[in-house]
Amino acid sequence: MRVTVAQIAEALQGTVEGDGSAEIAGLAGLTEAGAGDLSFLANPRYASAVAETAATAVLVGSDWRGDTRATLIRVSRPDEAFARVPPLLGWRPVAPPPGVHPAAVVHESATLGREVAVGPFTVIEPGVRVGDRTIVGAGCYLGHDTVIGRDCRLYPHVSAREGARIGDRVIIHNGAVIGSDGFGYYREGGAWKKIPQVGVVEIGDDVEIGANVTIDRARFGRTVIGNGVKIDNLVQIAHNVRIGDHTAMAAQVGISGSVIVGRGVQLGGQAGLGGHVTVGDGAVVGAQSGVTKDVAAMSAVSGYPAMPHDKARKMHAHLMRLPELKEKVAQMEKRISELESRARGHGDATA
């Protein structure tokens, strides 16, 4: 499907600088774009690429200034505007029609809402409730008494274990496991003995959970994922964790048991949070940070152990200078040794 630059600008409430009649058929990044593509600039670090891009048109901010051969569409927020373009080009997510596939196993006591789609080889256990227009992909497992809200999308091979509570408009990607047992054991006679994990997982509305994420059920009570939380692939969330609304975490984050993460927190990739710590509202935890104690609200930390980001940067700068400092110390030691040798020689001559 092709649309003109002017049509896109009108839909986005933007203004055109250049050829509004040019046609757009695809979307691409600034460096990969070619004729017929629309791209965008949101991060200033990539501003130089706008001058070199082969894109037909580029979405830029209202106040952006720079040289480019492309037609510009000026909008207030280029990243948000770019996300609204795919439907204008005819893109629609692939979705199965409503209905239960003959190869699915749905217990007679389960309740399915209107226009629910259930894929092949899915198993839905007793007491499950699925809300209107939710899609449950192939090979999913919904355990006893699980509740899933309206307009959700579970991609193939998602497992929601017994008692899980999942809100409305939740997206869960392939291979995620909701409600697996928490890592709870005690020692007896040199052996590990399992502590029963009898709690549940509760997920709010408008949450997106990436592929192969694991969210453990509580030992007792609830593991809670708040409204609007965004979780990247391969994240581990342990038992009794509480994640505040609209927090986002990148891939391979690991959160230990009974951690409290506030609202609007950002966790960088591979960050690790030790057990029973609290991360305050609006905090930012840098990639690969190791959080061993509480993090204050609206603060930024990084490094291991996690510390204020400015301090971590200074320490890193000092570490990078260690080879140079080692060489200087060796030279100083050599010079001191020479001076001491001369002093001893002068003493012997005086004697």
Residues annotated as part of the active site = 239
Residue 227, classified by CB atoms within 10 Å of its CB into exposed (0-12), middle (13-18) or buried (19+), is: middle
How far apart CA 204 and CA 199 sit, in angstroms, is 16
According to DSSP, the β-strands at 191-194 and 185-188 are antiparallel
| Closest listed residue to residue 205, CA positions, set 225, 189, 221 | 225
Q: Phi then psi for 88, rounded to 5 degrees?
A: -65, -25
**Both tokens of residue 7?**
């049509």
CA atoms within 13 A on the CB side of 152: 29
Q: Identify the DSSP state of 175.
A: T
How far apart CA 267 and CA 236 sit, in angstroms, is 13
CB atoms within 10 A of CB 297: 15
**Both tokens of residue 256?**
């230990």
E strand or H helix at 311, and its extent?
Answer: helix 309-320
How far apart CA 159 and CA 249 sit, in angstroms, is 21
CB contact burial 115-146 (16+ within 10 A = b; e otherwise): ebbbbeebbbbebbbbbebbbbbbbbbbbbbb
Packing angle, helices 322-350 and 309-320, rounded to 10: 50
According to DSSP, the β-strands at 71-75 and 15-17 are antiparallel
